[in-house]
Structure 1
Amino acid sequence: MLYDLNVPWSATDSPLQQQRTISFLSELGYDTLALNHTISSSLPSQITNPIPSPPPFEIPKKTVLLRRCTLCIADPTQNHRLPALAAVYDILALRPTTEKAFLAACLSLDSHSLISLDLAKHFSFHFKPKPLMTAINRGIRFEICYSQSMDGDTAARRNFIGNVVAIVRATRGRGLVVSSGAMSVLGVRAPADVLNLLEVWGLKRERGLESLGVNPRGVVVNEGLKRTSFRGVVDVVEGGEKIVKGKGKENGEKEKEKGTQQNGVGKKQNGKRKADETNGETTPRISNRAAKKAKLKALQDQKATLSPAPETPTQPPHTADTPSKPQAAPNE
């Protein structure tokens, strides 16, 4: 299963263009897509999700459509409502623009699951391995949008390639999520073409496959657990139930599965028979282990009674024919 977690969305875009992009991504094999709403200004007083659910157009079958928000931050001390923003969307990503915000997103902030940098710009700081690997160990992934390498001028492409190479070198190809970020159908590429591009930029094919499937799936699953589970650890699911015929389809009700019916005579409520009513016996039945021990003991007693007592060896009587020991001569 392939993922594309960055399909840009805007209220001014035409629904027909969005439908074309989603349909083309589905034809290329991307099963899970995320409509991305980017917030560049400060958070409003009342946080709402402007992305309609369901969308106003028809989406292909077996295509999962998520809603995502990307928040641009420059000062991490001014964003105190990130948990409230994360609760409204399915996925929350941060786009730091300064070194202070980047280090805070890697080390301290915990409401997001993605760090999506604008790699077409020149950064005044370097991507060091320690903060990036710390963020990856915390479950945060770094996003690379390959459409930025096709848009813009020569300087933007040069900055994008240099930043991607630096991130791949600092992370050793781990913890990356590759998305399209395409504004139209022209910026979308097939998975094989994306892997070739990543291999040119220094990312191995195995890591490239992880960035298209395993890593984004982990982001989606973790974000779902944060919103549906108990403290992001324990998820409660329904189990041990079956749909009753005639009721499940009409009313949508479920009935818990019961054990086998206990209609036999001489049975208790827990399905066990009484000890004095089993096979008409008055004494309780012994276990197989006790019966085996009793049988073994009886065999040992039987062998002991049938076997003769061992004879004690006796010394033969002393006769005259047997030579006697020579007596020692007396000392003179």
Structure 2
Amino acid sequence: MTRGVFSDLNVQRLESRAANLALLQTLADSGYERVAICHHVTLKRGVQLKAAPDVTELVERTPATKRGRQLEVLQRLTVMVDDPALLHTLSSPAAESYDLLAVCPASDRVFLQACSVLPIDIVTFNFAEKLPFVLKFSQLSQAVERGLSLEICYSPALRGSSGRRNTLSNAQELVKGCRGKGVLVSSGGERALDFRPPLDIVNMSRLFGLTDIQCKAAITTVGRAALLHSRMRRHSAKAVVSSHPLPAGRRKREREQDSETSVKKLRKDDS
């Protein structure tokens, strides 16, 4: 059995390309193989979402991981919003241009819609402070049933006693409410001191109330599930069947096989 791909799906985007590369190098050296660079937007009236920027050059220069693979870099948009009237922008082409779409609800009404109807992949929270709503089991279980991931960001717990106390308390409330299902653990970090190696995160996740299996899944399979959910949402939500073009080489081989089959059938009919 393989150990899975260690993921950190919430790494803060920095202004400098060199700074972003340095963060990616830190994560690759720590053992991560999939990273999402997160663009944060506080959604207010008059604010328009922008399409995902071109990061081709950044991706091409990403470091190799410990297993010799190229670090997989994704783009994520996290929207903080408290007014449900603004949520329609999450269905815009700009929002769909990101690999992952997350909402950080700042009110109970937004939290309810995030768990029930919004076209997103991740529900995240500002666990460094006291939440302005209650994490109800019915809403959390609805989110899990829809295939959404519920995110805990651990970096506030590394920055001081107040952030550590609030993060632990809120995270334990979340895990209790969702029974540990669908919990995604990410850093939410923006500097080297905000990150910890994957095995340290597995141990830290036990403090949140997760079981041993859930601790490992929180940085491996749950992240993969979030990515698959995003692909299904963006490519199949408005269609009965989702299709992707075959590679040119495979199309050529299949055409040749079809041609050979037709010739054999004609020869058989002639005989």
Distance in 2 (CA, whole Å) between partners of 1:263 and 1:214 is: 45
State the TM-score, normalizing by the size of structure 1: 0.70
Question: Contact 1:95/1:118 (CA < 8 Å) preserved in 2?
Answer: yes
Letter in 2 for 1:18: N
Which of structures 1 and 2 has the bigger CA Rg?
1
Contact 1:242 1:257 in 2 (8 A): no
For 1:222 and 1:22, locate their aligned partners in 2 and report how far apart those are by CA, in whole Å. Answer: 24
Q: Which residue of 2 aligns with 1:118?
A: 126
Which residue number corresponds to residue 227 of structure 1?
234
Q: Structure 2 CA distance, aligned partners of 1:156 and 1:149? A: 5
Distance 1:135 1:119 in 2: 18
- Are the equivalent residues in 2 in contact too, given 1:225–1:232 (CA < 8 A)? no
Distance 2:36 2:240 in 1: 24
Correspondent of 1:191 among 191, 198, 212: 198
What's the offset of the Cα at 1:241? Answer: 6.5
- The aligned residue for residue 88 of structure 1 is 97
What amino acid sits opposite 1:49 in the alignment?
Answer: A
* Partner of residue 72, structure 1: 80
Instruction: State the alpha-carbon separation in 1 of the partners of residues 167 and 154 from structure 2.
Output: 9
Unpaired segments ≥5 residues, structure 2: 65-69
Which residue of structure 2 aligns with residue 8 of structure 1? 12
Cα deviation, residue 130, structure 1: 1.0
Please report the TM-score for the alignment, with normalisation by the length of structure 2. Answer: 0.85
Output the amino acid matched with 1:185: A
The alignment partner of 2:257 has SS state of coil
Kindly report which structure 2 residues correspond to 1:248-267, keeping only aligned pairs within 5 A, or say none.
254=252, 256-259=255-258, 261=260
Contact 1:86 1:112 in 2 (8 A): no
RMSD over aligned CA atoms reads 2.6
Percent identity, aligned pairs only, is 27
The 5 A counterparts of 1:1-332 are 1-10=5-14, 13-42=15-44, 47-49=49-51, 51-56=53-58, 58-61=61-64, 62-84=70-92, 85-109=94-118, 111-151=119-159, 153-229=160-236, 231=238, 234-238=241-245, 242=249, 254=252, 256-259=255-258, 261=260, 269=266, 271-274=267-270
Secondary structure of 1:212 counterpart: coil
How many equivalent residue pairs? 259
**Stretch moving more, 225-234 or 171-180:** 225-234
Query: How much does 1:76 deviate?
Result: 1.1
The verdict on how the C-alpha distance between 1:45 and 1:184 changes in structure 2, with shifts beyond 3 A counting, is closer
Q: Deviations over 1:133-175 (max 9, x none)?
A: 0111011111111111112x42222111100110111111111
The structure-2 alpha-carbon separation of the partners of 1:178 and 1:268, relative to structure 1 and needing over 3 Å to count, comes to closer
SS of corresponding position for 2:147: coil
Structure 1 portions without partners, runs of 5+: 244-252, 278-332
Q: Which has the higher contact order (CA 8 A, sep 6+)?
A: 2
Secondary structure of the structure 1 residue equivalent to 2:129? coil
C-alpha contact (below 8 Å) 1:48/1:88 kept by paired residues: no
Deviations 1:197-219 (A, max 9, x none): 11123211100111111111011
2: distance between equivalents of 1:262 and 1:29? 49
Give the Cα–Cα distance (whole angstroms) in 2 for the partners of residues 234 and 263 of structure 1: 29
State the shift of 1:108 in Å: 2.7
Structure-2 separation of matches of 1:42 and 1:254: 51
Counterpart of 1:108, as a letter, is V
